[in-house]
Amino acid sequence: MIKKISLLSYALIINASVTQAGVQLSDFYGSYNMIIDGSKGTLQLISYQNEKDYNLKGTYIDIEGKDTYQVKGCTGHLNPDIPDHKLTFFINFKETSQMFEGYLMIKTKDAIVGYTMVNELPVGFYATKEVESQPVKKKHERKAIFSKPIKDKISDLRHILNDIRTTILVYNGQHHHKAKLGSIWDENTKKQISYTRGEDVANQLLQRTDRYGLTKATGANKEKLEYGPYFHDEFPINPITQGNTIHLVDSPLPIEKCVLPEDYDWIYNLQTCEFRAGGQIVLPPDIPERREDNSLLDF
């Protein structure tokens, strides 16, 4: 059994140089439903920037005993000889600190699988990430979208979009451009890490952040939450689509060259900080403000 596990780990490490591209530290953040050899629990992981040997911390809650234990761990981001998607973490149980070794699913980034030792016997574990609720206003039926004249909706959109773009400029200026909107600054590696989910970007504007772009939920010290919130309650609604989800692209190219937006509410380019409105698919074809680049605006 031990030989099989060692061979599996070796194969994963050898293949990591090809497959690990795109795995970032922020991909590990979140709450997981965890099974350890059949025993159920909840694993929560957030950023840990105050310890050079670890970059993750959190808690483990034993569902059966309702006990809570502290967790700290490190990913391959701290060691160039280890693939980024590998995670080693320790759960400080009452009797001992137990080590777990696993790998994040590269394609979906929604689960960790690996093994731990129990009474000198290797046993398996897996942890699946809980789906977090998005800061989204539920969309109405499409037939209700045109209850207000479309030109009035477009006028509203112009003001809202201008406000969002101005807010992004303010956010980036206050965060010293190290942690521009949509990213966090990792002080350990001196690198900018981009988010992969639109709701994380929205939360940077809806919650207080520190100078590195971290919120309380992603590991910021609550005494250093200096900035924001820039919007209250919810991210602005696109009056054309009646929703407020943010679709992310990560490219040096303009948005219209990267995606076919169709029915997205908002679109944000992580590299260029370009912010566009979606909704072209529901606009009548004779509306003058309909644009091929889907910006709906001249600026």
User: What is the per-residue pLDDT across 49-64, written as a single tens digit (0 to 9) for each?
Assistant: 777 889 999 899 888 7
Confidence band, pLDDT 50/70/90 cuts, at residue 252: confident
Q: What does the pLDDT read at residue 123?
A: 95
Q: Would the pLDDT of 182 be above 90?
A: yes
CA gap 77, 84 in Å, rounded: 5
Confidence band, pLDDT 50/70/90 cuts, at residue 280: low
Q: What is the mean pLDDT of residues 238-252?
A: 87
Lowest mean pLDDT among 61-75, 80-94, 120-134, 165-179: 120-134
CA gap 204, 218 in Å, rounded: 10
Pair 203, 217: CB distance under 8 Å: yes
Q: What does the pLDDT read at residue 126?
A: 95
Residue pLDDT, tens place only, 209-231? 999 998 988 888 888 899 999 99
* % residues pLDDT > 90 (the chain): 37
Token digits for 257? 């060259």
Pair 213, 183: CB distance under 8 Å: yes
Q: What does the pLDDT read at residue 295?
A: 44
Rounded to whole angstroms, what are the CA distances from 147 to 42, 141, 143, 152, 158? 45, 11, 8, 11, 19
Mean pLDDT rounded to a whole number for the chain = 80
Q: What does the pLDDT read at residue 232?
A: 86
Q: What does the pLDDT read at residue 261?
A: 53
Residue pLDDT, tens place only, 13-61? 444 444 455 788 888 988 899 999 999 999 989 888 777 889 999 899 8
Rounded to whole angstroms, what are the CA distances from 286 to 30, 51, 256, 289? 45, 59, 20, 9
